[in-house]
Structure 1
Amino acid sequence: MKYVIASAFLFLGFAGFSQSNVNEVLAAGVKDAEKFTDNYLAPVSEGALYSLANGWYNTAESKPLGGFEISIIGNMTSFKDSKKTFELNTADYENLKFQDGSTSKMVSTALGDLEGIGVYVEGEFMGFTTREEFDLPTGLSSEGINFIPSGFLQVGVGLVKGLEVKARFLPKVNTDEVQLGLYGIGLQQEFTKWLPADKVLPVAISAVIGYTHMDGTYDFTNTNVVDGENQRLEVDMNVWNFQAIAATKLKIINFYGGIGYVSGTSTTDVLGTYRVQSGPFQSETYVDPFAFSNKVSGMAATLGTRLKLGFFRLHADYTFAEFNNLTVGVNFGFR
């Protein structure tokens, strides 16, 4: 059942974390499987969107015409305890029941660590009553993973009048099982460049707009976790970040901060043919059984510092939002 984790983490390279029994999910019927998977996966999808939104700037100073910077950016997005669980009420499900007779219970999300929560599905199959029992999946915290990572390359080039264009990308990953790509585009406008006293001002003030797109596919047909053909998960994420930022203008060490708004969506499609092997639905075949989406929006505030040593720069910042984030970057630039 842990295969659902792959849909959240294939873009992080964690597709191998999904090796378990998909048949258990579909044993509850496609509607229950869709509802559970959506609730289970939502927090990690939300956290991933916040993670991808970060890393657009390390100063409020836009580069002059012809100036450029190449950066390697890494994000580590943490999550609150409230994101590790959700309430499963059996009244909201057609077939799923708790083995201990409870009607409502907190269960693990893909970020959580609750284990050993038994459920069952019972019904008629070929005139006989059949019952399928299994445990709900736990999440990444049970594996000692307490953050959501992301990483990419980023380039910034200065244009005119304080305008800088930025681009980010993750080189295309294409293996037998995983296909993955990431790209983004951003603009930074430094308003203090418009002022006559720009050269003597101790701070710079800018606005940044950044858009990031990530898509990926995890093909698990050859893992034999459930009978069928062309079984795959497809993930598509799009996120915008709007920030107003200010920074000091010292020669070596500087400090910067920003405040703004993050908005994004993610869509996950479970595709292929699936033939259920046990339980009351064991005669069912599902084709492209379901898809689900998540949205995020909220304020974000960032504080950071930057060290500049000639062409070489380092920066680190921390963002306070629904999912807090640590960004670290290694930069190489001219002007």
Structure 2
Amino acid sequence: MKKIFSLLVLVCSLQAVAQSNINDLLAAGLNDAEKFTTAYMTPVSEGLMSSMSNGWYNSGKAKPLGGFEISIIGNMASFKNNDDKKAFVLNTADYENIQFQDGSTSNLVSTALGDIEGQNIVISATVNGNNVNETIELPSGLASENINFIPSAFIQASVGLIKGTELKARFLPKIDADGSKVGFYGVGLQHEFTKHLPADKILPVAISGVIGYTHLDGTYNLESTNAISGANQSLDLVMNTWVFQAVVSTKLPIINFYGGIGYVTGTSEIDVLGTYEVSATPLPITYTDPFSLNNKISGVTGNVGAKLKLGFFRLHADYTLAEFNSLSFGVNFGFR
């Protein structure tokens, strides 16, 4: 697997599937190929949705009218200790044409995040009248390359509106590398409830509500891998996440502490597009747009962090507890 950076982690994970005998997996039939690929890819899409939904705030205090801040933010969703995300049980009873070479009926095999190697399967099937007999090694994942986190990075801008309301926008222009294109955008609102209290100016804390929406889309050109004959082969990816959080922070002049608790939800869809000519059979079998992989996440999230303010220059960092624990950090430039 190639060197991975920023959001291209996901695309390179998809590439691992493409380069790990996808020809033979399709030879097992569409049902088996889709079932395995779904189980293999689900954790990495969950991790990326968790990573890209973080970083919406660094204070419970909304900016005043005309106040603004521009931030460069990075997130890292860790899966180092998430063993359940790095492997899954492949039970041959759930598959039509796949058996383990050692004769066992179920084994732990790697997901796109894992590091299990040496698991061989035997494909024995009749597909479209063609007899298929193949032995292949299942792919490993990111942990085998000593990568134990899923990163995201973006530019975020915030501007203060009236009555304690702050508008936010985030953006990452499409990155184009090695046949991959990935980018995203998002919008959010923060409203400070303590602005409506008579004692707002003397309260030691600020309390806000935050809503944020993030959209990611990307493509990967499978034809560049030369893994399987065909035409117009690509993987198209779309992800959408929503986060709803309550935030509280201190109101000190230089360094402040903040924390929040909320709920995150998201959906992802990966479409395998193009024509694929399976050559593991005496007569080639051609599949067109073979399948789509769909996934959802939802759950409670909470974080704690700190922000250092030195005039127009600010730094912040926080740690999020969720299904994928994440570290977020940012460099900020702002006024008021």
**Matching of residues 199-238 of structure 1 within 5 Å:** 199-238=201-240
Cα offsets for 1:58-107 (capped at 9, x unmatched): 00010000000000010000121111111111111110110001111111
* Rounded Cα–Cα distance in structure 2 between residues aligned with 1:245 and 1:128: 60
1:145-156 equivalences under 5 Å are 145-156=147-158
Matched residue of 1:61: which SS?
coil
Q: Which residue of 1 aligns with 2:251?
A: 249
Q: Distance in 1 between matches of 2:174 and 2:128?
A: 49
* Structure 1 spans left out of the alignment, 5+ residues: none
Partners of 1:246 and 1:288 lie apart in 2 by 48
Q: 1:105 to 1:175 in 2, by over 3 A?
A: closer
SS in 1 for 2:262: strand
Which amino acid in 2 is paired with 1:168? R
Q: Indicate conservation of the 8 Å contact 1:21/1:225, yes or no.
A: yes
Corresponding position of 2:310:
309
CA RMSD of aligned residues (A): 2.1
Cα 1:102–1:201 shift into 2, 3 Å = same
**Residue type of the alignment partner of 1:70:** I
* C-alpha separation in 2, matches of 1:309 and 1:228: 57
Alpha-carbon contact 1:84-1:108 (below 8 Å) kept: yes
Distance in 2, matches of 1:255 and 1:55, equals: 15
1:90-138 C-alpha deviation (Å, 9 max, x unpaired): 1111101100011111111111111000001123589996520011111
Corresponding letter in the other structure for 2:221: D
Instruction: Report Cα offsets for 1:210-243 as digits up to 9, x if no partner.
Output: 0000000111213311100000000100000000
The answer to whether the 8 A contact 1:122-1:279 is kept is no
Q: Give the count of matched residue pairs.
A: 329
1:39 partner SS = helix
1:297 corresponds to which letter in structure 2? S
Counterparts of 1:152 and 1:292, CA distance in 2:
26
Distance 1:301 1:130, change over 3 A: closer
Structure 1: distance between partners of 2:224 and 2:274? 12
Is the CA contact 1:11–1:180 (under 8 Å) kept in the aligned structure 2? no
Structure 2 letter corresponding to 1:71 = S
Q: Distance in 1 between matches of 2:274 and 2:233?
A: 4
Structure 1 residue ranges, 4+ long, deviating more than 6 angstroms after superposition:
125-128
Distance in 1 between residues matched to 2:202 and 2:247, nearest whole Å: 19
Cα distance in 1 for residues equivalent to 2:150 and 2:53: 13
**Equivalent residue for 2:174, pick from 165, 172, 175:** 172
**Structure 1 stretch 128-137 or stretch 75-84: which is displaced more?**
128-137
Q: Deviation of residue 15 (structure 1)?
A: 7.0
Residue type of the partner of 1:23?
A: N
Structure 2 residue 195 is the aligned partner of structure 1 residue 193: yes
Partner amino acid, structure 1, of 2:247: I
Contact 1:15 1:218 in 2 (8 A): no
Deviation readout 1:166-225 (Å, 9 max, x if unpaired): 000101234672222200000000011112221111100000000000000111213311
**2:72 touches 2:330 (CA, 8 Å); kept in 1?**
yes
Structure 2 distance, partners of 1:109, 1:222, is: 23
CA 1:209/1:130 → structure 2, altered by over 3 Å: closer, same or farther?
A: closer
Q: 1:288 to 1:10 in 2, by over 3 A?
A: farther
- Distance of 1:225 and 1:145 partners within structure 2: 24
Amino acid in structure 2 at the alignment position of 1:41: M
Question: Which has the higher mean CA deviation after the structures are superposed, 22-31 or 42-51?
Answer: 22-31
**SS, match of residue 314 in structure 1:** strand
Counterpart Cα distance in 1 of 2:296 and 2:270: 12
What residue in structure 1 maps to residue 25 of structure 2? 25
% identity of equivalent residues: 62
Structure 2: distance between partners of 1:105 and 1:69: 51
Deviations 1:22-78 (A, max 9, x none): 212212211100000001111111111111110000000100000000000100001
- Contact 1:152/1:168 (8 A) holds in 2: yes
Structure 2 counterparts to residues 318-329 of structure 1, below 5 A: 318-329=319-330
Change (3 A) 1:221 1:129: closer
Q: 1:64 to 1:213 in 2, by over 3 A?
A: same
In structure 2, how many angstroms separate the alpha carbons of the residues matched to 1:128 and 1:258?
58
The 5 Å alignment of 1:51-66 reads: 51-66=51-66
TM-score, with structure 1 as normaliser: 0.93
* Corresponding residue of 2:290: 289
Contact 2:187 2:214 in 1 (8 A): yes
CA deviation vs aligned residue, 1:288-319 (integer Å, no higher than 9, x gap): 00001110100001000011111110000000
Length-normalised TM-score, structure 2 = 0.93
